[in-house]
Amino acid sequence: MYKVIVIDDEPLARQLIKALLQPYKEIQVVAECADGFEGFKTIQELNPDLIFLDVQMPRVNGFEMLELLDHAPSVIFTTAFDEYAVKAFEAHAVDYLLKPITKERFDKAIQKWLQQVATQQVQNIAPILQEHVYEGYQRRVVVKDNGLIRIIPEQDIQYIEAKDDYVKIYTGGGNYLKKSTLSFIEQSLDPQQFVRVHRSYLIPVSQLVRIEPYEKDSHIALLQNGAKVAVSKSGMAKLKTLLGW
């Protein structure tokens, strides 16, 4: 028996998916969730084989939820918006269903997933999220903090540092580790607000106080919180372009 969780903030959408799954006796809906925060907790508890996941939801959206998972189940996206990651995810997620979902299209997605399971080709979408970003920029970063989910607004970020397989996010209220790459974080945030000044550092322009020369072709950025961040030659060029120097 395959376990399925339906994650969507629209009750009617959840009901439709459950109704469409009824002919599949080998699939059992073990839970339904109304947002990504609830979905994350339920996935951790029930370890489903497949989730149906909406993108736009309150509290924590679909993509943010997937970022939090160390081991994500198979995913079939369900959304009314075709601009969200269609090209980025169509080769990696099981499928991407646009609402209103038809039975024919739904059955095709289920058969595709069952075939993947049978041939042991189901992919974990978590690493894919390190390579692809859906359209638009995030105004926040979501992290796990001692088992809790913490949402960090972009204005609270002082700077971000690469730490092996993690990034360390510095804020006035504390510092937080997130399993991600600095490149992924860089792509997800507004490039007019955040600049990759070094291979190990991403800074908000709003936090910049001044730039001091350090060694040949390198500089140090002094930030509002007193931190000193290395600026490479290419990072300096980015700052000059953005700031119009």
Encode pLDDT of 55-82 as tens digits.
888 888 888 888 888 888 899 999 887 6
Please give the pLDDT value at position 34: 95
Look at the chain and report how many structural domains it folds into.
Answer: 2
Same domain for 120 and 151, yes or no, is: no
pLDDT bin (cut points 50, 70, 90) of residue 87 is very low
Per-residue pLDDT at 14 exceeds 60: yes
Domain harbouring 152, CATH code: 2.40.50.1020
The pair of structure tokens assigned to 57 is 């939801």
* Mean pLDDT, range 179-191, rounded to an integer: 91
**How much is the pTM?**
0.74
Same domain for 57 and 15, yes or no, is: yes
Domain harbouring 51, CATH code: 3.40.50.2300
The pair of structure tokens assigned to 36 is 């990504």
Average pLDDT of the chain, as a whole number: 88
Domain for residue 168, yes or no?
Answer: yes
Please give the pLDDT value at position 199: 95
Q: Assign 106 to helix, strand or coil.
A: helix
Q: pLDDT tens for residues 91-143?
A: 468 888 988 999 999 999 999 999 988 876 555 555 555 554 455 678 899 99
Same domain for 164 and 115, yes or no, is: no
Domain for residue 217, yes or no?
Answer: yes
Same domain for 189 and 219, yes or no, is: yes
Backbone angles phi, psi at 54, to 5 degrees: -80, 160
Same domain for 101 and 161, yes or no, is: no
Helices 103-118 + 11-21 axis angle, to 10? 60
Domain for residue 193, yes or no?
Answer: yes
Domain for residue 75, yes or no?
Answer: yes
**Sheet-wide strand order for 228-231:** 208-213, 219-223, 228-231
Same domain for 200 and 113, yes or no, is: no
Same domain for 112 and 165, yes or no, is: no
Same domain for 156 and 222, yes or no, is: yes
Tell me 181's DSSP state: -
The pair of structure tokens assigned to 237 is 């060029």
Domain for residue 119, yes or no?
Answer: yes
Q: Which of 29-33, 187-191, 216-220, 235-239 has the highest mean pLDDT?
A: 29-33
Q: Which domain, by its residues, includes 52?
A: 2-130
The percent of residues in the chain predicted with pLDDT above 90, rounded, is: 62
* Mean pLDDT, range 176-180, rounded to an integer: 92
Per-residue pLDDT at 162 exceeds 60: yes
pLDDT bin (cut points 50, 70, 90) of residue 225 is very high
Q: Positive or negative CA dihedral for 181, 186, 187, 189?
A: positive
Is residue 140 within 8 A of residue 210, CB to CB? The reply is: no
Final residue in a domain of this structure, among 130, 164, 186:
130
Please give the pLDDT value at position 125: 59
**Cα–Cα distance for residue pair 151/140, rounded to 1 Å:** 7
Same domain for 9 and 123, yes or no, is: yes
Residues 233, 200, 149: CA angle, nearest 5 degrees: 145
Final residue in a domain of this structure, among 84, 102, 130:
130
Per-residue pLDDT at 168 exceeds 90: yes
